[in-house]
Amino acid sequence: MNKVKCNIGEELYFFRESGCGDKINIGKWKVTKNSDKIFEITLIEEPLVFGFWSYKKGSKITCKYDNNCRHFLKVYGDYKNNFCIYPDRQGIPIFINND
C-alpha cells in the first residue's frame, strides 16, 4: 500500500473544484500525523470564503490507510503530493493546491 508523501509539520493548501472547474480554497492545513496506519491534517488557517465548507480552525481530518474510517483517503503513487481526501466520504475530493 502506498503512503502519503508528507512530513509531520508540513503545511499544505487544499482546494476543491467547482462544477465549472474553478479551484475553491479550503484553507491551510498542517500534517499532524503520518504513521503506518493513520494520516491526519489539522486546519490552521480558514479560507476566506466558506460556502458549503463547515470545518473551522483547529478541525482535524483523520484518515486510516485501510479506509475503515469516517473519511476516504486515495493515494495515487509513490511521489510527493500523491493523494486526495474525500471528507465525510462525500463525492467531491480535496486536493493539494500546488499553484
Instruction: Read off the pTM.
Output: 0.84
SS3 per-residue string spanning 21-64: CCEEEEEEEEEEEECCCEEEEEEEECCCCCCCCCCCCCCEEEEE
Q: Are 4 and 67 in contact (CB under 8 A)?
A: no
Top-confidence residue, 92 or 29: 29
For the stretch 77-89, pLDDT in tens is 766 777 889 988 8
Please report the pLDDT score of residue 29 as a whole number: 92
For the stretch 8-33, pLDDT in tens is 999 998 888 877 878 888 889 999 99
